[in-house]
Amino acid sequence: MKKFVVILIVGMQLVIFNSTANAKTINEADTELCDTLKYALINSLRKPIDEAISEIYKDDKEAPGSLTWASYDTEILKIKQLYGIGGNYEITLKVYPYYGAHMSYGIDEVVVDTWGTLISYRHLKTYP
């Protein structure tokens, strides 16, 4: 009986004095957390996206040599989970290459995975 009372008292103390610790994400950016995560993801995929843009416009005689793209102007069209939660993801992006002072040159669709591999790309439009 004594053992039961001691266990009961200890159990009640653990329940009563249990304080929950809620973690709060610290966002030190000028955007909302959702946008910040989006831009961080897109920027982490910069190398395969640059590779796709280079491949798409390599044979275009009219394309300026200084084509680049901006993460804030890139759209995430689809995220496909490949191997379960926390595994690899396939991300489809719509990229708007530009030159100079943001003179739009085209629209492209680029598919990459979260391991930084370029899966495919497709040119959608070239601006005159």
What are the start-end ranges of the H helices in 1-128? 2-16, 33-44, 46-57
Read off the pLDDT of residues 97-122 as tens digits, 9 standing for 90 and up: 999 888 999 999 999 999 999 999 99
Q: Is the dihedral of CA 41, 111, 118, 108 positive or negative?
A: negative
Read off the pLDDT of residues 28-82 as tens digits, 9 standing for 90 and up: 777 788 888 999 999 999 999 999 999 999 988 888 888 999 999 999 999 999 8
The domain segmentation of the chain, as residue ranges, is 32-126
Q: Which amino acid is at 39?
A: Y
pTM to 2 decimals?
0.74
Q: Which residues of 70-90 are buried (b: 16+ CB within 10 A; e: fewer)?
A: ebeebeeeeeeeeeeeeeebb
